[in-house]
Structure 1
């Protein structure tokens, strides 16, 4: 359900310019300074404020507190304006907020050139089925999801993908081809995934780039964050050297790391790092 429908308003503009900015306290200050003659305060299933919407003239604007803590002044501002309280569970709201920002992204960014391979998607599906088996609706963080190849494979096995990538054109492509769903997708830097997501049972990083001396520090940050956010993690790389490098980064007493060659794919997903609790 789209955000205006949840709030029972014709339209609303969030003051945070993109999904990544939802963690910034700057926008809390901005909504506190905004004028309003009518207000709506959204609280979650625990009674915690997660969105404040204000009407000025005929226009509604809002600020979201799902990824940052509200302050007492938010409640005081609401109480000083004529308005209503709406209860919406956190998961429903965050899906609507993801969809809101993906609507903006797809309107502003042309899709990338098609890069999907049905053959590779089938090979990835086979790998996931062998390692994890069928899902039962469990969330899997698809880290660096691109245009949605991993999401297709995960969904076909019964997992619920939660997708992130920093490349808006690839996300726009995935949405346009219906491989990605707006309510499941975020344009964020995967190095900070835990700021935007609760812990997930599963995490996936397909073809984790080309890892060399120039990119290693970036990939180490991304994969560290993935492992910290997810209980079971599967990472694919092109070469055994890259797999050994990834293993050395993620080694810890509380983790079991298994490296194996994936003979289904001669290139993209040739080597696999499987990380699970020790």
Structure 2
């Protein structure tokens, strides 16, 4: 479902330039900085405001999304001038609609990266999930650093409800083009910020072929891994080398989870080493 459909509009633009901007309160100024003629507010099932929309003098509707941040007092005061129409929808439906909006914007503006999928890897990831953490059917599962979406595709085929995120827009764009990623379930964000973009903990977080991990980028990877651990009940990460997976295990254990590692023969390159929690 589109944001415009929820608000019973033919069309609406969102003021925040990219999805990752949605956590910043200063984005409210993009709405309050110019006059409006009418307003609508979309709230979630807990009556928390998720989208503020205004109509300008030319009849164009623009919204700002407060689903992942608290609205400023200036934004609330600005909308008190209108005889507001209030709409309500559940949080997940609104979140998926917002993700779809920005995913289509990303696709329109980003050249897709190369299609690097080895078909053999699909079966390997499928077997790996069944061997370790199981399928978690019907539950929300994170695809951390999703790339072009091979993990998302496999998790979905096993009956999970994957939610993907990555910081490389070209890979995400390729994932959309190939059909492996769904626009309504994908976010272009810094993985260290995942906990700002989800309401409840996921059942499982997976990161397939994280890295390469070197001394110069290890602090960043530690934050990404730690954030995924905090955002989920169980985790599964794969790397190409044994030193990398040992480092990942240390980071996972540092978050209070108990992790095991083993070498897999399913994929000698991408997912050779595995770290997972029961």
With structure 2 as the length reference, what TM-score do the two structures score? 0.95
- 1:216 alignment partner, one of 205, 213, 218: 218
- 1:261 alignment partner, one of 260, 263, 267: 263
Kept in 2: contact 1:129–1:157 (CA 8 A)? no
Residue 258 of structure 2 aligns to a residue whose secondary structure is strand
The 5-angstrom pairing of residues 11-160 of structure 1 reads: 11-56=11-56, 57-160=58-161
Number of matched pairs? 276
Kept in 1: contact 2:68–2:196 (CA 8 A)? yes
Kept in 2: contact 1:37–1:82 (CA 8 A)? no
Deviations 1:182-238 (A, max 9, x none): 000010010111111232110001111211222212211111111111110000011
With structure 1 as the length reference, what TM-score do the two structures score? 0.95
> 1:73 offset after TM fit, Å?
4.4
Structure 1's unaligned 5+ residue stretches are: none
- 2:242 alignment partner, one of 240, 243, 267: 240
RMSD of aligned residue pairs (Cα, Å): 1.5
User: Residue 7 of structure 2 corresponds to which residue in structure 1?
Assistant: 7
**Which segment drifts farther, 102-111 or 65-74?**
65-74
Kept in 1: contact 2:133–2:276 (CA 8 A)? no
**Which segment drifts farther, 218-227 or 31-40?**
31-40
- In 1, distance between residues paired with 2:38 and 2:7? 13
> 1:72 offset after TM fit, Å?
4.5
Kept in 1: contact 2:133–2:277 (CA 8 A)? no
Residue 251 of structure 1 aligns to a residue whose secondary structure is helix
Structure 2's unaligned 5+ residue stretches are: none
Deviations 1:21-63 (A, max 9, x none): 0000111233233311111111111112111100002210111
- In 2, distance between residues paired with 1:253 and 1:264? 28
Runs of 4+ in 1 over 6 A off after TM superposition: none
- In 2, distance between residues paired with 1:71 and 1:156? 41
Deviations 1:120-158 (A, max 9, x none): 011001100111223321111101101110011101111
Kept in 2: contact 1:12–1:59 (CA 8 A)? yes
